[in-house]
Structure formats: C-alpha cells, structure tokens
Structure 1
Amino acid sequence: MAAASIIAPVLDSTMMIEKRSSTADRVAADPLSSQIRVVPPHEYEKAAACLVEAFKDDHVVRYSIDTPDRGHWSEEERYELHKQAMEYVTYAHCLKGLVTTVGPDYDAVALWLPPGKNIDDLLTICRSGIWRLSYKLSKEGKERFFKEFLPLLATTKAEVLGDRDDRSWYLNYIGTKVGSRGKGYARQLIEHVSAVADQAGQPCYLESSHDINVKIYGKMGFSLRKQIWLTRSEEEIRMDVMVREPIKTLEEKF
C-alpha cells in the first residue's frame, strides 16, 4: 500500500487504455472478473473516496500531513489535504496505471502500476494535480514526502526486485470501505491482477504499514522480503515490503 515513485517516463494514455482492455480480456474466464471493473478517469473521485476513507488514520499515508509545523491545523484541515492528495494519486493512476474496483459502490479499490509503468512524467503530474503537493504540504511535509518517502520506496523496490523491477506489478494502494470489509473484496482485486501476472511469469510487489497485513497478504501468496522505516517523525514508522512470485500452471510445470 504506498504511493508510487512519481518522477519518470511512461507510455501515453491511449496505450494504457489498450493495456486495461488486454488485462480484462486475459482474465475474462475468471469468475471474479465479472464483478470487477476498471475505473475510467472521469470516475476518479468516487474511487478516491473509498481510499480516503480506508486510509484516513493510516500513519504512513498521513506521514507528510501530520507534521509538527502543521500542529495548528484542525483535523478537518488535515483530512481535506489527505482527501486532495488521494484524489491526485488516484487520478494519476487512472491516466497511466490501472485502477480497479469491486462492489456496488466502489466498496474496494486498488491502484496498480503495470510492468514498466509509472506516474512520474510531467504531463501526468500536471494533469493529476500531484504538482500541487509541492506547495500544499508544509516545509516538513515536503521533506518527508519528496526527499524521504518517495526515494526510499523507489530504492527499496529496485533493490528487492533487481532486474525484475520493470517487469513487476506494483500494488500502490488497496483499500476497502469500513462497512464493506470482510466480504473478500480486497482478495478479489488482488487475484484479478495476480492471475495476469502468473500467466506472464511476473511478480507482484507491495508495501504494507500494518502488522496484520503480513499474514493476510501471505495467504494470497506474498512473502515478506524486507522492512524499511520512515524516521523523521517522533516515532519511527515501519513498512513491510512483500513480493508475490508468479505461480506456474500445471502445463508450465510439465
């Protein structure tokens, strides 16, 4: 669950739309896929609303917002900035990545970066509104987000995956609305993409900020590879880096 590195080149949106269609087609035989749909850019606010709710108290997501130099802000002001940041990132993934949802009202949402893709090009940063964080975050918030958080994620992913970095599926965020938890929605969203990754022999990668998630993701084939820490807050914040290796089919084994 973490924000992507947001500074590098990607393919244009037309090619990404083709990629979305290809992804959906390749898992059409999976009964889960009939319940899942790709979120188009014009629906980004509804998808983001799910993630805003799911991560409203997450200490990693709020790391750049809950800073000492914004101690005078009310919780309403902090929450509004959290909402805006999540909308920027969700829209960027709609433009250049893959955003999927399941449930009758965007009950669970996942933000993926397919192999070789990112949301770091100048056009996407401008169109999505991510550039606004450079002045909406406080001085300490910018230090945490741009100089600590993003570089740490990018460096760690490259170290863990090595030459497979550009051939992996990156799960940046996945969240479920409070009232929709326990229905298996998150599992459906992950398995929807991991089936494609298996077919292509590609790993899936994520960072998690909660102890219980190591066990939950472990049941979906992810294994803990590394632990990393954010160190600028009063207490260090740990993230668990996990990788799901592609599972071979019986045909591939024999």
Structure 2
Amino acid sequence: MGVAIRTAGAEDRELVVRLLSEAFQDDPVSGWIFPEEEYRRTTQPRLMAAFVDIVLADGRIDVTEDGSACALWLPMPAEPHDDEDDGFAAVRESVDPDNERVEVLGRLTGEIHPAGRAHEYLWMIGVAPGRQGEGLGGALITSVTDRCDREGLPAYLEASSARSRKLYERLGFALRDRPLDLPDGPQMWPMWREPRG
C-alpha cells in the first residue's frame, strides 16, 4: 500500500512546526544548537516555525495525509542568492538572538551548498517519533526524486545523523566532498543525487 502525500498549505503550518519539533528533539544537530534539553523543547519550535515560513513562501512542503511526516523542499537556481547571510542573521534574531549557533549553522551549510546547477534542496524531513522506520520518509523523498528523474534535475541535502545518512544513501544520494564538522559539535553530511535515466 502506498503512502498518501499532499502539498501542505498555510493552514498546515502549526502541524508541520509541531511535527518537525518532535522529530528533531533528539537530533544531534538540534542538540548542538540547543544543548540544554528543556530549552531545546521550548525554543526549537520557533526555529522550526522560521524554517516552515521560509519554505511556505519560496518552496513546497509535502506532508503525509495522516500528518505523521513532512518534507521541506526548496527549488534552487543554478546561481546562489546574495542575501543568504542576512537571512541567517534575521532567523537568529527572531528565534534566539543570544544563540550564535543558529546563525553559524546557516552560514556553514550555506558555504558548502552546491552552486552552478539548478536542483531540488531537501531542507528538512521529519517523521513523528512513534512512526519512524515505517518508510514514510522514503516515500516523501521518492515522490520528489521520481519527478527529478523525469525532469533531469539533481537533488541535494545535508544529513544530520548517521541514521538519516543511511536512508539517503539507499535512495541514491552520495556524500559530496567531505562531511561538515560543526564547531565543537557533530558532523553533517552534504549529499547529492544525480537524476536517474
């Protein structure tokens, strides 16, 4: 049986924010951004809301029909935007002004983001903790990579955990260059997927 997927709209904002906040509560990168667990629980939803707002404005959010998983996609042009650094500073200011790691993460991932070729960027994918391992994330990704294959478009992401990296490898993504070492923190894996013929 397939997974029913739909495109989220503004009316789904709170659902997606809550879903991402729960899914990333124990993520290594989230733990680096917000080291104290209770502070992460109360502050991380603001960061997820900022991300969701950006993607609702400029990209697409896919959500499973039952609301248990979502994926945030941004179409990326061949040439990068010049205003990204200001965007990271604005997110920090609106989310957690005293936490420079919010901005550092955006700056570092922006520096390694591939340019020169249009692609789909999987910014984030979240599956409700009780539903992980059921294939929902794979279904969300495949729904977009199948279109990428038809259109001859590559896809890119940064894996934030060893577990997610393995999923992405199974779906045709490969490590691009080398891992990103966050300062005094975990690694992230920039991964690229060429379209399949």
What is the TM-score of this pair, normalised by structure 1? 0.68
Percent identity reads 29
Specify the code of the residue in structure 1 equivalent to 2:109.
Answer: L
**What does 1:140-219 align with in structure 2 at a 5 Å threshold?**
141-142=99-100, 144-146=101-103, 148-158=104-114, 162-164=115-117, 167-219=118-170
CA contact (8 A) 1:96 1:119 kept: no
Match of 1:55 in 2: 24
1:190 is displaced (CA, Å) by 0.4
Report SS of the residue matched to 1:145. Answer: helix
Greater C-alpha radius of gyration: 1
Specify the code of the residue in structure 2 equivalent to 1:244.
Answer: R
1:191 is displaced (CA, Å) by 0.7
1:47 is displaced (CA, Å) by 1.2
1:97 is displaced (CA, Å) by 1.0
Q: In the aligned structure 1, how far is the partner of 2:94 from the partner of 2:122?
A: 27
Gaps of 5+ in 2: none
CA contact (8 A) 1:230 1:237 kept: yes
Change in Cα spacing, 1:61 to 1:120, as seen in structure 2 (3 Å) is farther
Specify the code of the residue in structure 1 equivalent to 2:96.
Answer: L
1:78 is displaced (CA, Å) by 3.1
Change in Cα spacing, 1:229 to 1:195, as seen in structure 2 (3 Å) is same
RMSD between aligned residues: 2.7
CA contact (8 A) 1:60 1:237 kept: yes
Specify the code of the residue in structure 2 equivalent to 1:247.
Answer: R
CA contact (8 A) 2:91 2:102 kept: no
Q: In the aligned structure 2, how far is the partner of 1:80 from the partner of 1:87?
A: 12
Structure with bigger RCO (C-alpha 8 Å, 6+ apart): 1
**What does 1:218-237 align with in structure 2 at a 5 Å threshold?**
218-225=169-176, 226-231=178-183, 233=184, 236-237=185-186
Q: In the aligned structure 2, how far is the partner of 1:243 from the partner of 1:52?
A: 25
Specify the code of the residue in structure 2 equivalent to 1:151.
Answer: R
What is the TM-score of this pair, normalised by structure 2? 0.85
Output one character per residue of 1:110-143: Cα deviation in whole Å (capped at 9) or x when no partner: 0010132999979xx7xxxx9463164253x22x
Specify the code of the residue in structure 1 equivalent to 2:28.
Answer: H
Q: For this pair of structures, how many residues does the alignment match?
A: 192
1:213 is displaced (CA, Å) by 2.5
Match of 1:93 in 2: 55
CA contact (8 A) 1:92 1:119 kept: no
Q: In the aligned structure 1, how far is the partner of 2:127 from the partner of 2:81?
A: 23
Gaps of 5+ in 1: 1-30, 249-254
